[in-house]
Structure 1
Amino acid sequence: MAQIMIIAKEPVAGRVKTRLTPPYSPEQAARLAGAAFHDSLLAVSGTPATQRVLALDGLPGSWLPPGFVVIPQRGPAADGGFWLLGLREPDASLLLGVPMSHPETGKLQLDRLDRAGLSVQVLPELIDVDTPADAAEVAAQAPDSRFAAVLRETGR
């Protein structure tokens, strides 16, 4: 069974992308987070996965497309330190206890996978949106995304 999981926070002003404020208002930062979240949900919706899971910190809203199983997020996660983890056989124990929102989350997760004897292929590094410059770079890389559209609307 192919399963895809997104780990995210509900896009609520003051709770998401807080490092973007200032210069963005909390509402603008939440709109940007919501747009990025929407782009991710659409991408996952378009895959042939047999199950789509959203590990959510918060409550699902009308923004959630059909076909997702929503579970509560275990542990804090604003910035996971990695953008994809694919496992042939899902095993939650490979994630539990790895600190999220930590400068070494990615390294610690890789160490955990290595200790479990799994072969790991590292994907290209992507930018996490923590600064206005990051937001501009991500929007430039995906100019047709909802994220880029919302960024243009902010006028920055």
Structure 2
Amino acid sequence: MTADLLVIAKEPVPGRVKTRLTPVHTPERAAELAAAALADTLAAVAATPAGARTLALAGRPGPWLPDGFTVLPQRGDGLDERLAHAFDDAYRGRPLVLVGMDTPQVTPALLGEATAALADHDAVFGPATDGGFWLLGLRVPDPALLLGVPMSRDDTGRRQLARLAGLRVATLPALTDVDTPADAAEVARAAPHTRFAAALNGVPA
């Protein structure tokens, strides 16, 4: 059974996204970098075989959205609620893999590895180098696996994995989330051909 892919993201509006990139970058510049990261992520998802592709979006779609995505509004207050609702809203009876917009270095190969893992695992987990996670795949989503997990902390990944105890979990390579200017520089160096790297380095699109 082919898995579905799900992206959870914010509309890249100045002052509302990538605020930790300021003051090194202006809010407008931070939003440009967020838009580039989101475009890279969506392009990787679009290039990965999937049963369906969904974007759970806080805000409105923009020119960065490619064809082939169903757009659903995010629901909930905290990130744990928004993740749980996104899984619930996008679930169509097939395994479901969720990624955020903070890892523009993600590739179709990595996403394909995640979807393939759900053929014989209950979950797949992509740890982030800051202690969080950049990907979570579930063969059968269950809100109880996410609700109440403290998010945006250095122990978020460990706590999320603890919720998956008893399930067969496959693990992917760790990736760096783009949160700080140092993160942005690291990711751009690691993935120099991305839209994100071009935007950070001032290369015209």
Per the normalisation by structure 2, the TM-score is 0.67
Determine the structure 1 residue equivalent to 2:187. Answer: 138
Asked if the contact 1:76/1:101 (under 8 Å) is kept, the reply is: no
Deviations 1:100-126 (A, max 9, x none): 333332222111111xx2122232221
Q: Hey, what's the Cα distance between the residues in 1 that align with 2:59 and 2:150? A: 19
Aligned-residue offset at 1:8: 1.2
Per the normalisation by structure 1, the TM-score is 0.86
Determine the structure 1 residue equivalent to 2:197. Answer: 148
User: Which sections of structure 2, spanning at least 5 residues, go unmatched?
Assistant: 80-99, 103-127
Percent of aligned pairs with the same amino acid: 64
User: Which sections of structure 1, spanning at least 5 residues, go unmatched?
Assistant: none
**Letter in structure 1 aligned against 2:66:** P
Q: Hey, what's the Cα distance between the residues in 2 that align with 1:42 and 1:92? A: 28
Determine the structure 2 residue equivalent to 1:94. Answer: 145
Determine the structure 2 residue equivalent to 1:21. Answer: 22
Asked if the contact 2:189/2:197 (under 8 Å) is kept, the reply is: yes
Asked if 1:36 corresponds to 2:85, the answer is no
Q: Hey, what's the Cα distance between the residues in 2 that align with 1:65 and 1:94? A: 30
Q: Hey, what's the Cα distance between the residues in 1 that align with 2:57 and 2:154? A: 21
**Letter in structure 1 aligned against 2:62:** G
Q: Match of 2:8, SS?
A: strand
Q: Hey, what's the Cα distance between the residues in 1 that align with 2:70 and 2:148? A: 23
Higher strand share: 2
Change (3 A) 1:62 1:21: same
CA RMSD between the two structures: 2.1
Q: How many residues align?
A: 152
Q: Hey, what's the Cα distance between the residues in 1 that align with 2:185 and 2:58? A: 26
